[in-house]
């Protein structure tokens, strides 16, 4: 079957979202948006999806603080965070590389990560460039930490990390990533080469399930249109609409 990497990632993420009641998706997150729409179509019609970049899919009426308030109230089950760097302790860096504050390479900033990562029960990390510059042993700047000591209020945290090469799950006890599946065509050796941190894995890891025909039809049809409302450039590149 012919599909794009983005389509694989959307379908892979989507399978983790079936039980969510309310999923929120921040700026610059077209793949998570697609995954949420897919999960709603396939598994849970009453799921509520908040797309912050959208007008149609954003029901907040109390201003832009309402996302953070609702998340802190425990009303948002899943959220997605990227990272310029992500390290083996699931710390994320959205600020830049090099020494702070005059980083060598500066990125936009930490956005809401320093609250959302703490309070949303299921935070999915994503990074489409899996290499040793992004998957590092220790991030140069912790926008938000992966784990917190027991005295810190933290009902939420990371549950998975998806990249262009593989899917990691998060072992909360061991505070480590575990390789869950390799995307089709990727080898364990390749992941080890591309990853700056240690992770757990089976000797022969699973392969990420490929999108089904039904999924691709949904994706290229109604879901592509939903995505296009908020992410027109992405939709054009990926779905040619």
The site for other proteins (CB under 8 A) is made up of: 21-22, 27-28, 45-46, 48, 55-56, 59-65, 67-70, 72-75, 94-96, 100-119, 141-145, 148-149, 151-153, 231-234
Tokens of 115: 């609250």
The nearest distance, CB 85 to other proteins, in angstroms, is 12
Q: What is the dihedral of CA 165, 197, 120, 94, to 10 degrees?
A: -90
- Which is nearer to other proteins, 109 or 184 (by Cβ)? 109
Q: How far is the CB of 122 from other proteins (least distance, A)?
A: 16
Residue 113 beta carbon to other proteins: minimum distance, rounded to whole angstroms = 7
Nearest to 160 by CA among 229, 207, 212, 90: 90
Task: Give the residue with the Cβ less far from other proteins, 149 or 185.
Answer: 149
Taking the complex as a whole, how short is the minimal distance between the CB of residue 184 and other proteins, in angstroms?
29
């Amino acid at each position: 079957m012919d599909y794009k990497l983005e389509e694989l990632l959307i379908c892979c993420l989507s399978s983790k979202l079936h039980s969510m009641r309310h999923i929120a998706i921040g700026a610059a997150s077209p793949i998570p948006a697609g995954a949420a729409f897919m999960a709603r179509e396939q598994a849970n019609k009453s799921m509520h999806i908040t797309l912050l970049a959208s007008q149609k899919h954003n029901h907040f009426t109390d201003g832009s603080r309402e996302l953070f308030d609702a998340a802190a109230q425990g009303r948002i089950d899943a959220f997605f965070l990227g990272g310029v760097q992500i390290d083996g302790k699931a710390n994320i860096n959205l600020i830049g590389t090099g020494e702070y504050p005059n980083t060598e390479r500066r990125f936009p900033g930490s956005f809401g990560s320093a609250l959302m990562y703490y309070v949303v029960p299921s935070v999915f990390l994503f990074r489409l460039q899996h290499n040793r510059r992004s998957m590092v042993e220790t991030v140069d700047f912790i926008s938000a930490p992966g784990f917190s000591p027991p005295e810190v209020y933290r009902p939420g945290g990371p549950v998975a990390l998806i990249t262009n090469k593989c899917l990691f799950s998060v072992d909360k006890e061991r505070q480590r990533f575990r390789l869950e599946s390799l995307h089709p065509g990727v080898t364990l050796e390749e992941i080890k080469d591309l990853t700056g941190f240690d992770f757990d894995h089976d000797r022969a890891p699973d392969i990420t399930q490929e999108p089904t025909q039904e999924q691709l039809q949904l994706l290229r049809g109604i879901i592509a249109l939903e995505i296009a409302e908020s992410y027109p450039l992405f939709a054009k590149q990926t779905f040619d609409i």
